[in-house]
Amino acid sequence: MAELSVVLTAISHPTRRAMIDRLSRGPAGFLELAKPFDTALNSVTKHLKMLERAGLIARQKHGREVIISLRAEPLKNVAGWVHHYERFWNEQLDEFEHHFKSTKRKEKKR
């Protein structure tokens, strides 16, 4: 399993997140995957290498074509890490909610 830092770096670029999104709708050949992106094929190759290093894609040969497919499991580590802090953003929301409710209460009293 690739390190969390490698996975987070891989998903930190919008092009690589768009590639993950495309692959979530099914496997694709290299050119098909490269098509929607306004980048040189060389740059697509670099993005794919970073996704591969993170374990987020797999390549399989089908005849003469290479088919790329999504491997989502490394994202589980990202979810695990971020969930650890869920209560912190919930607490902030609770504080906000509390403030909002008590402001409303005061308004009713007027």
Element (H, E) at 33: helix 30-34
Q: Does 100 bind a copy of itself (CB under 8 A)?
A: no
- According to the binding rule CB under 8 A, does residue 42 interact with a copy of itself? no
Cα separation, 48 vs 8, whole angstroms: 14
Residue 11 found at the interface with a copy of itself (CB under 8 A): yes
Side-chain-side CA neighbours of residue 110 (13 Å):
6
Q: Name the residue among 25, 23, 1 with its Cα closest to residue 75.
A: 1
Per-residue binding letters, 72-91, with a copy of itself (x by CB under 8 A)? xx-xx-xx-xxxxxx-xx--
**Tokens found for residue 87:** 């209560």
How near is the Cβ of 109 to a copy of itself at its closest, in Å? 30
Binding to a copy of itself by residue 8, rule CB under 8 A? yes
Any contact of residue 9 with a copy of itself (CB under 8 A)? yes
- Contact between 95 and a copy of itself (CB under 8 A)? no
| Residues 21-40 within binding reach of a copy of itself (CB under 8 A) | 24
Residue 51 in tokens = 């996704």
Which of 63, 78, 76, 68 minimizes the C-alpha distance to 25?
68
User: Which positions lie near a copy of itself, rule CB under 8 A?
Assistant: 4-5, 8-9, 11-14, 17, 20, 24, 70-73, 75-76, 78-79, 81-86, 88-89, 92-93
